[in-house]
């Protein structure tokens, strides 16, 4: 007997990817319906009591009628959606964390929520290295000048050139799936890697103050939790050596962006690069838009074709476990 599954994909993790993965993984076939969400053409935001979701509660409620399993990336699993979807038993979020699901309400309703850890680890690690090099070698600024018909020789002056990775110390704040990959890449550049992460058992890891004091480059890879919110502020930036570089491809909540702009304006930091922000999209008039030596990308560090395919495959594998009556591998609800 087949089960009814809703694929609520978007323009990144497409419904076709979910469909292919489900047909490959799920025994006995699936009765699949589809709902296409507008992300990333339309930004995600807060929906009801959940974060980083597409604002499609009404459409989702309608599409979930009679559905037992939903696979998605951005659909909002709110209390309102749960109350209106009595047949739902499994909600699979194809992201590294199910921030768009109300886990407590789901548990009370008897709905299991799974997620897809590590789906974008390779893409984000590669993007981190690209951002670090772009900020250090002034690639966006020099390209912009050349595209505007300006050849600036002063970029070659001693004060305007950045350090090399080879022989430099790079501090990684967080050593999970992404941070550990960045470390391996950096070792290939000849860098010395320091790590601060209270949640991993790693020989030689250091406290945050020591990492900041010793590192010419610092890259953030911690998860956003109440403990890590604002962990890099004015005092932490001031502790970094003058002329150093900061990269944040993790979460905007980790960093005080006003303090970052101050450190760049004063010249204390040689450069910085960030893929995440305290408010997304960046509001008009933000200091981030005019601060010098800051490289920015619009929260796309994890964007690769492989990320989308892995995301669909990870959740499809948990759907298959559900169908076979096996324990779920990536369960987020109690």
Q: What is the pLDDT of residues 219-277, one digit of tens each?
A: 999 998 999 999 999 999 999 999 999 999 999 999 999 999 999 999 999 999 999 99
- Separation between Cα atoms, residue 257 and residue 288, nearest integer Å: 8
Q: What is the pLDDT of residue 1?
A: 64
Query: Do 39 and 104 fall into the same domain?
Result: yes
Residue 331 lies in a domain: no
Tokens, residue 132: 């670090």
User: What does the alpha-carbon distance between residue 34 and residue 26 come to, in Å, rounded to a whole number?
Assistant: 17
Quickly state the pLDDT bin for 109 (edges 50, 70, 90). very high
Residues forming beta bridges with residue 6, ordered by sequence position: 33, 70
Within-domain flag for 332: no
Report helix, strand or coil for 238.
helix
How far from 205 is each of 175, 184, 235, 273, CA to CA, in Å? 10, 15, 21, 24
| 333 part of a folded domain | no
- Which of the residues 299, 321, 324, 326 is marked catalytic? 299
For residues 325 and 297, the answer to whether their CB atoms sit within 8 Å is: no
Is residue 144 included in any domain, yes or no? yes
Q: Is 299 known to be catalytic?
A: yes
Within-domain flag for 177:
yes
Residue numbers of the domain that contains 162: 121-296
**Contact partners, residue 192, CB within 8 Å, separation at least 6:** 167, 168, 169, 170
Active-site residue identified among 14, 251, 321, 330: 251
One domain, residues 27 and 113: yes
pLDDT digits 0-9 by tens, 17-47: 999 999 999 988 789 999 999 999 999 999 9
Q: How far is CA 5 from CA 8, 109, 178, 298, in A?
A: 10, 18, 31, 32
Clarify whether residues 14 and 115 are in a common domain. yes
Give the global pTM: 0.92
Structure tokens given for 190: 């000849």
pLDDT at position 2 = 82
Q: Which residue has the tokens 């790079």?
A: 170
**113 shares its domain with 131:** no
pLDDT tens profile 173-213: 999 999 999 999 999 999 999 999 999 999 989 999 999 99
Same domain (yes/no): 93, 128: no
| Residue 169 to residue 107: CA distance in whole angstroms | 45
Residues 6+ apart with CB under 8 A from 121: 177, 178, 181
Identify whether residues 211 and 282 lie together within a single domain: yes
List 280, 321, 324, 326, catalytic entry: 280
pLDDT at 110 over 90: yes
């Amino acid at each position: 007997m087949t089960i009814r599954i809703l694929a609520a994909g978007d323009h990144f993790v497409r419904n076709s990817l979910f469909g292919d993965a489900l047909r490959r993984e799920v025994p006995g076939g699936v009765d699949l319906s589809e709902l296409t969400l507008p992300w990333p053409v339309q930004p995600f935001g807060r929906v009801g009591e959940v974060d980083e979701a597409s604002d499609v509660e009404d459409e989702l409620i309608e599409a979930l009628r009679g559905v037992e399993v939903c696979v998605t990336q951005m659909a909002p699993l709110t209390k309102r959606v749960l109350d209106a979807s009595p047949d739902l038993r499994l909600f699979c979020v194809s992201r590294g964390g199910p921030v768009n699901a109300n886990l407590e309400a789901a548990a009370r309703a008897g709905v299991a929520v799974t997620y897809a850890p590590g789906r974008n680890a390779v893409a984000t690690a590669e993007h981190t290295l690209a951002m670090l090099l772009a900020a250090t070698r002034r690639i966006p600024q020099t390209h912009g000048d050349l595209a505007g018909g300006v050849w600036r020789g002063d970029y070659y002056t001693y004060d305007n050139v950045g350090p090399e990775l080879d022989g430099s110390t790079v501090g990684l704040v967080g050593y999970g799936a992404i941070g550990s990959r960045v470390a391996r890449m950096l070792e290939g550049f000849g860098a010395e890697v320091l790590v601060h992460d209270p949640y991993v058992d790693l020989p030689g890891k250091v406290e945050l103050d020591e990492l900041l004091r010793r590192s010419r480059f610092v890259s953030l890879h911690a998860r956003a939790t109440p403990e890590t919110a604002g962990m890099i502020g004015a005092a932490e930036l001031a502790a970094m050596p003058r002329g150093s570089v900061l990269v944040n491809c993790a979460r905007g909540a980790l960093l005080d962006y006003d303090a970052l702009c101050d450190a760049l304006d004063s010249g204390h930091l040689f450069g910085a690069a960030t893929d995440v922000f305290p408010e997304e999209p960046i509001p008009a008039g933000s200091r981030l838009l005019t601060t010098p030596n800051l490289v920015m990308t619009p929260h796309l560090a994890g964007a690769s074709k492989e990320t989308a395919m892995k995301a669909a495959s990870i959740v499809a594998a948990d759907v298959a476990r559900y169908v076979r009556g096996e324990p779920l591998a990536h369960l987020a609800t109690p």
